[in-house]
A and B are shown apart, each in its own frame.
Chain A
Amino acid sequence: MTKPSFVYVTYIATTPEKVWRALVDTDMMRQYWADPTDDDPAHENVSDWKPGSQWEHRRVDDTRMVDIVGKVVESIPPRRLVITWARPKDAGDDLKHSRVIFDIESHGDGLIRLTVTHKDLEHDPKMLEGISNGWPKVLSNLKTLLETGRALPRSPSAT
């Protein structure tokens, strides 16, 4: 068993069910799966979220370009979601898939603890760098969205 490449934790004042919805509902996803200070388009993750199904990380713009693909490995609402993660050109090569695990636990006091673990990235330094920039943004946006009902505003120059 290799050790995880990255582990990200955030505490959110919300319910496990709302976090789960945010992970699988494209309308919510496109609100937080974006860098509000960046010109890059938001993304949404599209799947039926059943074990064995495919999922796609797709741009929310005219191109609808798919940047990441993978398979759903485990799907236990509202507690645990496990997916694989690869570039579209590596979709058929399981050895090039890394793995992302979302764990949602109640923490008391109306808080949940969301842990995102990304494993098996060691072979891919470029992806490693990209995701280590990406996850903290996505998770802090998600926290803001669930606690305040809105994601961080995009700066005027970005819209």
Chain B
Amino acid sequence: MKVLRLRGRVQRDTTGERRSSFSADVDKVFKALADPGRRRLLDLLHRENGQTLTALCEHMDMTRQAVTQHLQQLEEANLVAIVWQGREKLHYLNPVPLHEIHARWIEKFERNRLDVLRNLKKKLEDDDDDKA
């Protein structure tokens, strides 16, 4: 719980990142994302939001305990939000921290060009898949 309480403390780091909780938060987000298993969990929640641990485990090639730990780390990074429904613990993808990162580095005028690039990459890679 200590870790949770430290999250977002108002601070200014040595690079002069803007005062507010951004700096501490953003470290946790990037650490949480730096693992294929945790990214897979976010993908699963993106496909179907509000899943239980049991439902998520069905699609994960690891122990239930490992999935629990990954979910805990995602929750501490505020990328996953928990809702209790009766005795069921439901996990929701929380994209708000990702939007803060997006808003920091991506400008309006870049968005269309980035979409074009993303679509091109997707199309070329799908074509390759067809050939294989």
The reply to whether the CB of B54 lies closer than 8 angstroms to some CB of chain A is no
Which residues of B are found within 8 Å of A107, using beta-carbon distances? 5
A22 at the interface (CB under 8 A from B): no
Which residue on A lies nearest to B88, using beta carbons?
Answer: A3
Distance in Å: Cβ of A124 to nearest Cβ of chain B: 15
Asked whether A158 lies within 8 Å of B108 as measured between CB atoms, the reply is yes
Contact B92 A6 (CB under 8 A): yes
A-B contact pairs, 18 of them (CB 8 A): A4-B90, A5-B50, A6-B92, A7-B92, A7-B94, A8-B95, A10-B96, A11-B78, A37-B111, A109-B6, A109-B8, A111-B9, A136-B98, A136-B99, A143-B20, A144-B100, A148-B18, A155-B107
Per the CB 8 Å criterion, the residue count for chain B at the interface is 32
**Would you list which residues of chain B between 7 and 30 have a CB under 8 Å from chain A?**
7-10, 18-21, 25
Q: Say yes or no for B124: interface residue by CB 8 A criterion.
A: no
CB pair B96 A147 closer than 8 Å: no
Q: Which of B9, B49, B85, B107 contacts A6 (CB under 8 A)?
A: B49
| Contact between chains at B50 and A3 (CB < 8 Å) | yes
Residues facing B in A7-21 (CB within 8 A) are 7-13
Residues A13 and B8 in contact, CB atoms below 8 Å apart? yes
Decide if B57 is an interface residue (CB 8 Å cutoff).
no
Q: For residue A143, which residue of chain B has the nearest CB?
A: B100
A interface residues, tally (CB under 8 Å): 35
A143 CA / B94 CA spacing, docked (Å): 15
Using CB atoms and an 8 Å cutoff, list the residues of chain A in contact with chain B: 1, 3-13, 36-38, 107-111, 115, 117, 135-137, 139-140, 143-144, 147-148, 152, 155, 157-158
A117 to B111, CA, bound (A): 28
Q: Give CA–CA (A137, B102) in the complex, Å.
A: 10
Q: B20 and A13: CB pair below 8 A?
A: yes
Given contacts A140-B99, A155-B107, A155-B109, contact A8 B94 (CB under 8 A): yes
Q: Which residue numbers of B lie inside 8 Å of A, CB to CB?
A: 5-10, 18-21, 25, 49-50, 78, 81, 83, 85-86, 90, 92, 94-96, 98-100, 103, 106-109, 111
The distance in angstroms between the C-alpha atoms of A146 and B92, with both chains bound, is 25
Q: Are A117 and B78 in contact (CB under 8 A)?
A: no
Write out the residue numbers on chain B whose beta carbons fall within 8 Å of the beta carbon of A148.
18-20
CA distance A12 to B103 in the complex (A): 17
Q: Are A8 and B81 in contact (CB under 8 A)?
A: yes
Q: Which 9 A-B pairs have the closest CB atoms?
A: A37-B108, A136-B99, A7-B92, A147-B20, A9-B81, A7-B81, A140-B99, A11-B8, A140-B100
List of B residues within 8 angstroms of A109 by Cβ: 5-6, 8-9
CB distance from A134 to the nearest CB of B (A): 10
